[in-house]
Amino acid sequence: MSARLVHVGSAVVDYVYRIDALPAPGTEKSASSYARVPGGGFNMMVAASRTGMKVVFGGQLGTGPDGDFLRAAFAAEGIETLTPPSPSMDSGNCVAMISGDAERTFVSWPGAESRLTLDMMAPVKVAPGDWVFASGYTLSYPGSRDALADWVEALPPEIPFVFDPTPVIAEIPRPILDRVLTRTTWLSCNTDEAAEIAGAGDAQTVAVRLLAEHCPKAAGVVIRSGAHGCLLRMTESGTRAIAGFEVVAVDTNGAGDTHIGAFVSGLSRGMPPSEAARYANAAAALSVTRHGGSSAPTDNEIREFLAQRDQAAVAHCREQEATT
């Protein structure tokens, strides 16, 4: 039986507009394409599900067209929602503008996912073998941060807890952030988020400080650096840079979520952390070659991609040896 991911973050609907470049203030541009897609935590859940984990959702969905849209998307991916829908609010949404260089700019509106109480979370039960995930978005909302921090702190000590602070980390009150970091088993963040927590410095120095000063119970931290791959710092075996993969990116939206979902899935299946990080790098690389935030590849696609890259590396080495 596959491990179960209990996701207690948030999911929203993304309204995605593709443009050649952001419009100047006070001007207007026409998009080359538009799509309405599930986003937010949905992208991470899809990555974990498509790579072998059973996924359940313990956050809040709303009542209304966006909530209905998300429920249908969850059902299509086989993701069960454990909590009843909010009776008073629809789910939130996010306008994502994808420019010609594959970068993205967001404007979001919080909905039902921004309101959470311990009573709402009562149906969310964890069991031995589960992995729990939460993101900084839920901790940034005044109406959900206290309940989620309380719930995370009450998790049984044997349950691994994975945390992604997300780009809104500066909006999380430091006492709340510290409480969650103290319970974190694996922290996954990008370089800017890592510096926001632990201060400026090179990635290795920041990773050391993250573990030593901010995540005392963690097994390790992953600092993602886009196309360059990630830095893996483990409590027991030091630091390793895990190289990324060169691909032609068309859409970077959701790449970080894909990385986290694939990394957790790999760990849950017994992969060593360094192997899980390389597996996650491959998943993220594949995802940016496809349009849409929930473009995570399957386990078979990732393994085939890695096999092809390994074969190419071996062939290159042989060519080099033949010319020396």
CATH code, domain carrying 210: 3.40.1190.20
User: Would you say residue 34 has pLDDT above 70?
Assistant: yes
- Could you tell me which residues come within 8 angstroms of residue 79 by beta carbon, excluding any fewer than 6 positions away? 45, 49, 55, 56, 57
Burial of 2 (0-12, 13-18, 19+ CB in 10 A): middle
The amino acid at 275: E
230 occurs within a structural domain: yes
Band (pLDDT 50/70/90 cuts) for residue 114 is very high
Weakest mean pLDDT among 68-77, 150-159, 244-253: 244-253
What whole-number distance in Å separates Cα of residue 287 and Cα of residue 283? 6
What order do you get walking across the sheet with 104-109 strand by strand? Answer: 33-40, 11-18, 93-98, 104-109
User: Would you say residue 313 has pLDDT above 80?
Assistant: no
Q: Which residue has the tokens 């957790």?
A: 264
324 occurs within a structural domain: no
- Report CA Rg, the chain: 19
27 occurs within a structural domain: no
The model's pLDDT over 167-211, given as tens digits with 9 standing for 90+, comes to 999 999 999 999 999 999 999 999 999 999 999 999 999 999 999
What whole-number distance in Å separates Cα of residue 148 and Cα of residue 142? 11
Domain encompassing residue 15: 4-22+32-317
User: Would you say residue 1 has pLDDT above 60?
Assistant: no
Q: Which residue has the tokens 């085939």?
A: 304
pTM of the model: 0.91
User: Would you say residue 318 has pLDDT above 80?
Assistant: no
306 occurs within a structural domain: yes
Structural domains in the chain (count): 1
Cα 179 from chain centroid?
20
- Could you tell me which residues come within 8 angstroms of residue 136 by beta carbon, excluding any fewer than 6 positions away? 163, 164, 165, 166, 167, 168, 169, 172, 177, 193
Q: Determine which helix (DSSP H) or strand (DSSP E) holds 149, and give its type and residue range.
A: helix 145-153
The model's pLDDT over 259-290, given as tens digits with 9 standing for 90+, comes to 999 999 999 999 999 999 999 999 999 999 99
Residue 148 contacts residue 35 (beta carbons within 8 Å): no
111 occurs within a structural domain: yes
